[in-house]
Amino acid sequence: MDGSERIGPAQAGPGVERLPGQIGAVVAVSGFKLSCHLFGGGAAGYSKAQIGALLKVPMAGSTAYGFIASLRFEQGAGGASAAVAEVDLLGEQTERNGVESFARGISIYPVLGSAVFAATSDDIALIYAKPNTWTLAIGSLHQDAARPAYLLSQEFLSKHSAIVGTTGSGKSCALTLMLRTLLTAHPNGHVVLLDPHGEYASAFTDLAERMTPDRLQLPYWLLSFEEACEVLCSHDPIARSREIPILKDAILQAKQDYIGDDAAKLAQLTVDTPVPYRMNNLEKHITGAMGKLDRPDSSLPYIRLLATIEMLRKDRRYQFMFEGLTLRDSLGDILSRILRIPVAGKPITIIDISAVPSEIVNVVVSLLCRLIFDFALYSEREEAIPILVVCDEAHRYIPRDESTGFAPTIRSIARIAKEGRKYGVSLCLVTQRPAELSETILSQCSTIFALRMNNEKDRSFVRSMLPDDAAGLMAALPTLRQREAIAVGEGVAHPMRIRFADLPPEFRPRGEAANFPKAWEDDRKSRDFVQQIIDRWRQQ
């Protein structure tokens, strides 16, 4: 290693007196890394060394601990090969007033030739002892299956988090387990889960209010102007540039119609103010502006807007946004239902957006995140209700390449990521493609649960987001079993490899792949089966 001190394996090997249980010796020290020569096979030697295993190096006044990041053979003096382990230091054990404790970081570095030992069960118990704060057991440690792995509730909830891993690694079950554990311990919580595949309703039947498009109410007048343009204006840039000023004037006039002669409210009114307005009035103002034109050939942008409004109002898929003729200011009811105020025994709201038209999914996510943040922003600090927003398939809404995403959605989520902690809004991102996720937003996540990842680009991206003392654990990412994860950050006391607790079948999300062999055993479907699907399809 550059800048390191090194001694030959022969100096730390058989010629040096070994202590009972010693498996090797330090041969190089560089920053937070050690290189250790491991002795031969047997119970105390390299044949027992594993990637991610804990080693310890006792010193005068402290004991350093670290994870094995890599193992190799290298050529030593005289042509003999030696086993070498690269170790990433985690922290140290010290004794003060007769009490032993473990802390992250190293104050005294091991010296060359220091004896290296495998960590014992007592060492693991000291490092991963139950913290003296709000904690929840979510699984067990990889190094000792009998020892619980604890989640620090306050740190996990008050700071943003992420759950990353390839498809089939157990992300949905891990999220369900953590949320169920949290809400069982804190039944008056407030969680909003954006569910893009409709898989979580079965996991929270006893704790959740499920909102599907036919039960969701997000009226058009709640849209910001950018969101309204995305829904109502053409996607062709030239056509959109002509329609935007027309729509802006019409929306502002329609809102003025609703407010009436209230001078104070009119003075504060902008095109983005969440004030109700009638769609009939919007069409009336667009038609009125079109009637003032001198040239009929200039009427095309007005006609396109009117045609789009008419089409959306007739489309059943948009019914949750373009409701009937009655109009009322229902913002209070909408927020109360989304945020579960009062909780009434169901602390989580599952927003099932699997049936929302793909053209406006980003608009719906933008609107929901913006409403939640603004509600927290304008709450009195002493009376504010902390809210956890969980965004599954997060790479869809906040892509690394912002030009491929919907700008208002990216801004809404980024605003929560950057400022949410100050107002009691926490963000949990779930994704199978972390490399496609906005680096700026992911970097705001203080706790990361990394499940199995096979893609090197994803692994490299996650490694770049993690502290140096977790690098040794990250080497195991491609080989993690299902339900295993590397947990690092503020939500856990120390970086650790954990196995999540088993989730009962009745609480598992409906995310499993179809069982092809079982489904193909018999030919039991009829023509009526196809017609039933078509009927449901057409009803949408």
Residue 525: C-alpha distances to residues 517, 519, 528, 535 (Å)? 16, 11, 8, 16
Structure confidence at residue 81 as a pLDDT band (50, 70, 90): confident
479/453 Cα distance (integer angstroms): 8
Rounded to an integer, the average pLDDT of 422-439 is: 93
474/367 Cα distance (integer angstroms): 36
386/119 Cα distance (integer angstroms): 40
Listed ranges 46-60, 348-362, 455-469; the one with the highest mean pLDDT: 348-362
- Residue showing tokens 């969980």: 390
pLDDT value of residue 311: 94
Do residues 503 and 176 make contact, with C-beta atoms less than 8 angstroms apart? yes
Instruction: For residue 391, give the DSSP letter.
Output: E
Instruction: For residue 501, give the DSSP letter.
Output: P
- At a CB cut-off of 8 Å and minimum separation 6, what does 33 contact? 1, 69, 86, 87, 88, 89
448/473 Cα distance (integer angstroms): 13
Question: Which has the minimum average pLDDT: 81-85, 137-141, 318-322, 348-352?
Answer: 81-85
H/E element holding 210? strand 208-211
Q: Which residue has the higher pLDDT, 8 or 348?
A: 348
Q: Which regions of 31-130 does DSSP assign to beta strands (E)?
A: 33-38, 54-59, 62-75, 81-96, 99-104, 115-118
- At a CB cut-off of 8 Å and minimum separation 6, what does 404 contact? none
User: Is the alpha carbon torsion for 373, 378, 381, 384 positive or negative?
Assistant: negative
Q: Which regions of 377-531 does DSSP assign to beta strands (E)?
A: 387-392, 425-431, 447-450, 484-489, 496-500
- Domains of the chain, first to last: 5-127 (no CATH), 148-217+330-511 (3.40.50.300), 222-318 (no CATH)
Backbone angles phi, psi at 304, to 5 degrees: -65, -45
- For 493-519, what is each residue's pLDDT tens digit? 888 999 999 998 889 888 666 667 877
Rounded to an integer, the average pLDDT of 323-330 is: 76
Residue of 296, 251, 290 lying closest to 270 (CA atoms): 251
Query: How far apart are the two ends of the chain, measured CA to CA in Å?
Result: 64
Q: Look at strands 484-489 and 33-38 and give their pairing.
A: unpaired
- At a CB cut-off of 8 Å and minimum separation 6, what does 533 contact? none
- For 255-298, what is each residue's pLDDT tens digit? 999 998 888 888 999 999 999 999 999 999 999 999 888 776 68
Structure confidence at residue 94 as a pLDDT band (50, 70, 90): confident
- Residue showing tokens 């995305």: 230
- For 431-484, what is each residue's pLDDT tens digit? 999 999 999 999 899 999 999 998 888 888 887 777 666 666 777 888 898 889
3-state SS, residue 487: strand
pLDDT value of residue 4: 43
pLDDT value of residue 213: 86
Reduced DSSP (H G I as helix, E B as strand, rest coil) percent helix, strand, coil of the chain, to 5: 40, 25, 35
The two structure tokens encoding residue 36: 């250790």
471/439 Cα distance (integer angstroms): 19
Planar angle of CA 68, 146, 116, nearest 5 degrees:
30
Residue of 177, 15, 266 lying closest to 502 (CA atoms): 177
Structure confidence at residue 14 as a pLDDT band (50, 70, 90): very low
The two structure tokens encoding residue 351: 């927003």
Q: What is the dihedral of CA 241, 245, 246, 247, to 10 degrees?
A: 90
Residue of 329, 315, 351, 376 lying closest to 222 (CA atoms): 329
